Every structure is written in structure tokens, then in C-alpha cells.
Amino acid sequence: MARFTDTISIRIKAGNGGKGAVSFHREKFIARGGPDGGDGGKGGDVYFRSDIMIHNLSHLFKDRLYGAENGHQGMGNNRHGKDGTDMTVRVPAGTQVIDGETGEVLADLIEDGTRFMAASGGIGGKGNAFFKTATHQTPRFSQPGMPGEEKRVTLNLKLIADIGLVGLPNAGKSTLLGRITNAKPKIADYPFTTLTPNLGVIQKEDGSTLKIADIPGIIEGAHKGHGLGLSFLQHIERVRAVLYIIDITGDDLSYTLHLLRSELETYNVELTSKPYYILLNKIDLVDDAEAVEKRNQINDKNVLSISSSTGENIPALLEILDGFMEYHHAS
């Protein structure tokens, strides 16, 4: 699996403008032709373009220079130089482009296919033909091209998902993601199997999609850096709804829920005011009596017991997810 990269700093440089040409018209039997040096071409621009097929920034290299082509020189016979080819850096949807010096957010490429010009190419210099005047018929000079813009930018990816999965390590978040979306996350019977966020997509029949983010497990004290900390919560900051995944075989489910919520709250209180559902996972491991007793430990109406392994109650979960999307559109 490609490494998940949250943030990276790179350099960008637009192309310089091409130099204008110094040239004089030559033709048989015409002794002294006029100036015919064409203008230089414009330097290429540097763009960032969001692409939903890319999920992280790991294809980019830290501190590398991403440059566009310089404009070509003007030529004789009034031919203009070719413009330099643009450089387009593809980034995942959800990438912020931040000015490396001022820290200003230059662009937030949320929608798929959004293009942002981050550095513009220099214009080409004028050829000597441009400088011909009534009193100065034979200018022997031309303009150089303007330099292309150059800067350092930091790219910061905040995954864009509709729904975020939150739970203790080993609760079955990744198993659930693998069951209901196209994602194939790593699943294992030990904590912190997931080290970097996974994004899964549910493709609906009407053509719409529902994106779900599976993030590393959270433990008590995560806000103090315990476990993997909380920084990856930035990837679910923009979700529409949160699913708390709790292992039903655990001891005190109410405490687990409280712990998850208070960690989220410490990070960003908005996360706990979003629509949510509590999923008691691994129901296949308990008998009916225990399932009822565990369910009653949680004093909340938004609770559903499921099994990510056997698929029990997954259809009901999918209906709840649809409800979240409608809720969002209505609000």
C-alpha cells in the first residue's frame, strides 16, 4: 500500500518568457529588409489539479522543484516563439495549497477536477520588429522574457469523506469499511493495524457516491499523544456524520462511548455535534441475552448492533447512511 502522506512542502517555478528575436528580413534582390524578429513565447504556468483517483500525496517529493517549461525564443520572419508547456501537479481532492512563506491558504481544492494556477509564467519579450519606428528603422535589440513566478508551497491533505469511523483499536472499523465499500484495508487481530487513514467508496445506483473514512484506533489519552494521537482526526473534521464502532464483547460499553466522545471533543467540539450512530460490532460473538444486556448499557436511541464479519444488520446500517445524506441535503 502506498504510504499515506498528509503534508508535504515543494517548490514550484513557472516558465520564463522567451526572448524576443533580433532579425532582419532577407530575400534575394532586396538589399536591406526591415526588422522581423518575432516575440518570445510565454512561460508555462504551474497548476494544481484535484483528482479523485489520487488518495494521498506520496507521489510527490519533498522539496523537489516542479517547474513548467520556459517560453521559446522568437524567430525571424516575425514568427513568435512557442509558449512553454504548463506543469500540472495532480493532488487528491481535499488538498489545501498553502503559501510556504506567509502560511496563507491559496486554494482549497475540494471538488474533483478543480484547477488552481499557483505560479504564472513570464510573458515573452518583444522581438525587434516591435521596436521599429519611423525614425528608428533598424532596431538591433529585443526584449528578454519576464521571469516566471517561483515559490514554495505546502500541500496539506484533509481527506474528504461523508462519514467517519471512530473507535478503539480492534473494534472492527476496517472490517466494516471492507464490507460496505470498495476498499480493501488491512485487517488483523491486534491493535493499531490501521496506521494511516483509508478511504472507501460506496457507489450508489443513482450514480452518487458515499465516501467513508477509516482512521486509526483511538485510545484513552489520545489527546495527550497516547497511541497514535489525534492528528489524523483532521481527516474526519469535514464529515457529515460520525459512526462510533464499539466491540460488543467489551466490558463497559458506556464508558467506551464516553471515552471516544471526549477525545473527539478535545480535538474539535464540532465533531461531537454532528449526526452520529453507535454501532455495536461483533454481535456474532454474543448470544441474544448478552446482546440485549449490552445494548441496554448505552443510553442512546441511535444504536445498532451489527456484525461486520457475517453482515448481520448491514442493510439497516446502509439505510441509516442514506438518511445521513438526505439529512445533509435538507439542512
308 binds, among ligand GTP, Mg ion, none (CB under 5 to 8 A by kind): ligand GTP
Check if the beta carbon of residue 71 is closer than 8 Å to that of residue 15: yes
DSSP string, 236-284: GTT-SEEEEEEETTSS-HHHHHHHHHHHHHHH-GGGGGS-EEEEEE-GG
Q: How far apart are CA 93 and CA 108, in angstroms?
A: 9
Residue found by looking up cell 460506496 in the block: 202
Query: Exactly one of 142, 143, 194, 297 binds ligand GTP (CB under 6 A); which one?
Result: 194
Q: Please, are residues 131 and 35 in contact by the beta-carbon 8 Å criterion? A: yes
Piece in contact with Mg ion (CB under 5 A), picked from 11-19, 147-155, 185-193, 301-309: 185-193
Are 220 and 308 contacting, i.e. CB atoms less than 8 angstroms apart?
Answer: no
- The C-alpha atoms of residue 94 and residue 110 are separated, in whole angstroms, by 5
- How far apart are CB 228 and ligand GTP at their closest, in Å? 9
Among 23, 70, 96, 170, binds ligand GTP (CB under 6 A): 170
The C-alpha cell that represents 130 in the structure block: 516591435
Binding partner selected for residue 189 from ligand GTP, Mg ion, none, CB under the kind-specific 5 to 8 Å limit:
ligand GTP
User: Residues 161, 171, 264, 271: which binds ligand GTP (CB under 6 A)?
Assistant: 171
Q: Which amino acid is at 69?
A: E
Residue 193 sits in the site that holds Mg ion (CB under 5 A): yes
Give the nearest distance from C-beta 313 to ligand GTP in angstroms: 10
Contact between 169 and ligand GTP by CB under 6 A: the answer reads: yes
In terms of residues, how long is the chain?
A: 331
Other C-beta atoms lying within 10 Å of the C-beta of residue 305: 20
Please state the closest distance from residue 283 (CB atom) to ligand GTP, in A. Answer: 7
What's phi and psi for 269, nearest 5 deg?
Answer: -60, -25
188 binds ligand GTP, rule: CB under 6 A: yes
Tell me the residue type at 330. Answer: A
Q: Contact letters (x/-) for ligand GTP, 268-297, by CB under 6 A? A: -------------xx-xx------------
Choices 37-45, 187-195, 238-246, 313-321; region in contact with Mg ion by CB under 5 A: 187-195
Question: Applying CB under 6 A, which residues contact ligand GTP?
Answer: 167, 169-175, 187-189, 191-194, 216-217, 281-282, 284-285, 307-309
Question: Applying CB under 5 A, which residues contact Mg ion?
Answer: 173-174, 193-194
